[in-house]
Amino acid sequence: MTSPARKLVVTGATGKQGGALIRALLAQQQPAQPFAIYALTRDRTSKPALALAAKPGVHVIQGDFANPEAVFKQLGGKPWGLFSVTMPMDARREEAEGKAMVRAACEAGVEHIVFTATERGGQTKSDTTPTHVPHFRSKYHIEQEIRAQSTASPQEVTWTFLRPVAFYENLSDDFLGRGYVAMWRLNGLERPLQQVSTTDIGLIAADAFLNAEKEEYRNKAISLAGDELSPNDAARVFKEVTGRELPYTYAVVGRALRWMMKEQLGVMFDWFVTDDFGVDVQALRKRYPFMQDFRTWLAEESAWKKA
Ligand SMILES: NC(=O)c1ccc[n+]([C@@H]2O[C@H](COP(=O)([O-])OP(=O)(O)OC[C@H]3O[C@@H](n4cnc5c(N)ncnc54)[C@H](OP(=O)(O)O)[C@@H]3O)[C@@H](O)[C@H]2O)c1
């Protein structure tokens, strides 16, 4: 008799990172899917939620970060794992919701939590420094709550923190993407910024769940970056791959966005200049050879891949 699949709650399931994790798990070539995936959405009738519900082994559950206890009640049994994504627009709320999700998961009996946070200046600094970027600081404090809950819970709770840098996906083929590039360019056309593909975050999150008991993931934090490139590097690679100019909008729009969204974006772009991410990209690529550089992501996944 085979043992029942472990129940894995995936938050942000209809979004980039949670969606990438589910795709990575479903692509596993194992004889039996080791997880029953519980994909959280606020609206189970939305197009992405319906698409998830059609996948084998995926149960779509409806709920909100504002009421995490209700999420776990829908499982009809203990959760084994939690993939936690948080929403950064209001960092205080993000911190409160992220901590509440962790506490609810531990009370429901969770055994392994993968929390996707942000890189904060290399391994040592990220472990010890909240930074003054509001939505980096909130994630630091959620990490601290996970550490505290893992020792306070009656059952053994282990964790893996993923700490990605900026997503390639920010370069979308729309106003937001052009605005992002305009904001980035204001930091200097030759100043590099570390970036990563959310597909790779999903692959590594899947590996962390599949190997949760192994030393490499058990109570470990992993910073994630696939490339390091300046706006000029990005423009050159973009032209080589797509034959087009990297789209961006006026500097004045970039300045206005950084000013209007100071808490969410402005402080972070300033931090890229004063502090910056600190991932050892080459060492990480040795560990995860599949990690995409910008050229690969552009050619294989981006909105411009067919161009
Ligand atoms: N962009 C970057 O460069 C970057 C870099 C590092 C870290 N991050 C961090 O990544 C996180 C965002 O992850 P993502 O980009 O993968 O997300 P995303 O693509 O923006 O998707 C958001 C997901 O969260 C769900 N959601 C939103 N509000 C919710 C609520 N109140 N209750 C329950 N679910 C809710 C949405 O589900 P429904 O709509 O279906 O309800 C959706 O699945 C942020 O914390 C951000 O700071 C971003």
Residue 108 Cα distances to 51, 61, 67, 169, angstroms: 28, 16, 14, 34
What are the residues whose beta carbons fall under 8 Å from the beta carbon of 141, sequence distance 6 or more? 95, 99, 130
Residue 19, Cβ density class (10 Å: 0-12 exposed, 13-18 middle, ≥19 buried): buried
Report d(CA 185, CA 69) in Å as an integer. Answer: 43
Strand partners, 113: 82, 159
Cα-to-centroid distance, 240 and ligand 1 (Å): 31
For residues 257-266, average pLDDT:
97
The predicted model gives 194-201 an average pLDDT of 98
What pLDDT sits at residue 307?
A: 60
Atom 5 (ligand 1): residue with closest C-alpha? Answer: 166
Distance 243 CA to ligand 1 centre (A): 31
Task: Output the six-digit token pair for 193.
Answer: 């910024």
Higher-confidence residue of 264 and 307: namely 264
pLDDT band of 1, cuts 50, 70, 90: very low
What pLDDT shows up at residue 32? 77
pLDDT at 3: 57
The mean pLDDT of the chain is 96
**Does the structure show a pLDDT above 80 at 4?**
no
Inter-residue contact 109 to 75 (CB < 8 Å): no
Is residue 2 pLDDT above 80, yes or no? Answer: no
Asked if 296 and 241 count as a contact pair (C-beta separation under 8 A), the reply is no
Atom of ligand 1 nearest to the CA of 167: 3
Task: Give the rounded percent of residues in the chain with a pLDDT score beyond 70.
Answer: 98
* The pLDDT of residue 17: 98
The residues spanned by each domain of the chain are 6-165+198-224
187 in Cβ contact with 237 (< 8 Å): no
The arrangement of secondary structure in 6-165+198-224, i.e. its CATH architecture, is: 3-Layer(aba) Sandwich (3.40)
Tens digit of each residue's pLDDT (9 = 90 or more) over 27-65: 987 777 899 999 999 999 999 999 999 999 999 999 999
The per-residue pLDDT for 306 is: 66
At residue 305, the pLDDT reads 86
Predicted model pTM: 0.97
Name the band, by pLDDT with cuts 50, 70 and 90, for residue 264.
very high
- CA–CA distances in Å: residue 235 to residues 82, 148, 149, 201, 270: 38, 44, 45, 24, 21
Q: How many CB atoms lie within 10 A of CB 89?
A: 11
Terminal-to-terminal C-alpha distance of the chain: 51
Which two structure tokens, joined as six digits, stand for 134?
Answer: 């509001």
How far apart are the CA of 3 and the centre of ligand 1, in A? Answer: 32
- In a mutational test of the pocket of ligand 1, which residue from 9, 38, 42 has the highest number of ligand atoms less than 8 Å from its CB? 42
Sheet holding 166-167, edge to edge: 166-167, 193-196, 227-229
Task: Collect all residues with Cβ–Cβ distance below 8 Å to 67 and sequence separation of at least 6.
Answer: none
Which protein residues touch ligand 1 with a CB less than 6 Å away? 11-18, 40-43, 46, 49, 64-65, 85-88, 118, 135, 164, 166-167, 170
Question: Quick check: 102 and 69 in contact, CB under 8 A?
Answer: no
Q: How far apart are CA 173 and CA 12, in angstroms?
A: 22
